[in-house]
């Protein structure tokens, strides 16, 4: 139920109510949500891997195919995406300081993770029908950065002492 609420609120970003609802969700749920989302994103690649006529896929039984795909596709994808989210959140922290907002890195990391929902779902649907290149990754980063700026602008400015 928490994942469904997180999904519905992440689709409504950058609305103020959705931002504050997502902010209340714990970091453990956010990380598990991201891993689940990355699993969904990697499904078109897994289907393509199984249906390809590669000798390796044909010689291994299904259990080893799953293990192989997990180690060489899902795991590196997860590491790269988590690193990109961390980088975008770090840039967002700098932007928050420039915009004089009271935001911490952990909040921006969580919000950045939730901004990836729509690009990842679009990628998954498109990858089922079309081959998609690496330029989509650049568009994903620009989309997330734009949304982080919009999310930062929702939070109040720091009080002057």
Tell me the pLDDT tens digit for each residue of 50-107.
777 566 656 767 788 788 888 988 999 999 999 999 999 999 999 999 999 988 999 9
E strand or H helix that includes residue 19: helix 16-23
Is 103 exposed, middle or buried, given 0-12, 13-18 or 19+ CB atoms closer than 10 A?
A: buried
The angle subtended at Cα 29 by Cα 25 and Cα 35, nearest 5°, is: 140
The angle subtended at Cα 31 by Cα 25 and Cα 32, nearest 5°, is: 95
Q: Which residue has the tokens 């044909």?
A: 58
Cα gap 28→6, rounded to integer Å: 12
130 pLDDT higher than 90: no
DSSP assignment, residue 159?
P
Residue 40: its pLDDT value, please? Answer: 93
Q: Give tens-digit pLDDT for 7-62.
A: 999 999 888 899 989 999 999 999 999 999 999 999 988 888 777 756 665 676 77
């Amino acid at each position: 139920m928490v994942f469904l609420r997180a999904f519905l609120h992440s689709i409504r970003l950058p609305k103020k109510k959705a931002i504050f609802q997502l902010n209340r969700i714990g970091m453990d749920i956010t990380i598990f949500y991201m891993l689940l989302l990355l699993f969904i994103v990697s499904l078109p690649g897994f289907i393509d891997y199984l249906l390809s006529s590669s000798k390796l896929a044909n010689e291994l039984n299904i259990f080893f195919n799953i293990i192989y795909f997990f180690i060489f596709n899902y795991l590196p994808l997860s590491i790269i995406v988590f690193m990109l989210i961390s980088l975008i959140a770090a840039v967002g922290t700098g932007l928050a300081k420039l915009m004089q907002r009271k935001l911490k890195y952990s909040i921006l990391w969580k919000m950045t993770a939730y901004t990836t929902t729509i690009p990842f779902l679009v990628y998954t649907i498109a990858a089922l029908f079309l081959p998609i290149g690496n330029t989509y990754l650049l568009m994903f980063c620009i989309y997330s950065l734009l949304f982080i700026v919009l999310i930062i602008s929702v939070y109040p400015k720091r009080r002057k002492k």
